[in-house]
């Protein structure tokens, strides 16, 4: 028994293209900045205390600061 290719409209009426190719909320870009080693260590310890990653801590701080 060989597999045959069927026309798409015979397989299903509407192809769920929007379900397959959902656009991301926003394009992510990298931001690099230099800080003193002690500052980074302080930020990292604070992030650990709050149960966050360093990235999440900085993002929350900036969102709060800019509001």
Dihedral angle of Cα 9, 12, 14, 18, to the nearest 10 degrees: -120
Residue 7 Cα distances to 12, 13, 21, angstroms: 9, 11, 21
At residue 24, the pLDDT reads 64
Q: Find the domain containing 49 and state its range.
A: 34-67
pLDDT value for 14? 66
Q: What is the pTM of this model?
A: 0.58
Q: Is residue 53 part of a domain?
A: yes
Distances (CA, A) of 8 to 3, 15, 18, 51: 15, 8, 16, 49
Q: Would residue 63 count as lying in a domain?
A: yes
Q: How many structural domains does the chain have?
A: 1
Residue 61 lies in a domain: yes
pLDDT, position 4? 76
Per-residue pLDDT in tens (0 to 9) along the chain, 67 residues: 677 777 766 666 666 655 655 566 788 889 999 999 999 999 999 999 999 999 999 999 999 999 8
């Amino acid at each position: 028994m060989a597999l045959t290719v069927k026309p798409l409209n015979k397989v299903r009426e509407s192809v769920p293209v929007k379900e397959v190719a959902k656009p991301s909320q926003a394009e992510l870009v990298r931001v690099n900045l230099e800080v003193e080693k002690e500052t980074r260590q302080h930020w990292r310890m604070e992030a650990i205390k709050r149960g966050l990653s360093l990235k999440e801590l900085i993002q929350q701080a900036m969102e709060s600061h800019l509001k």
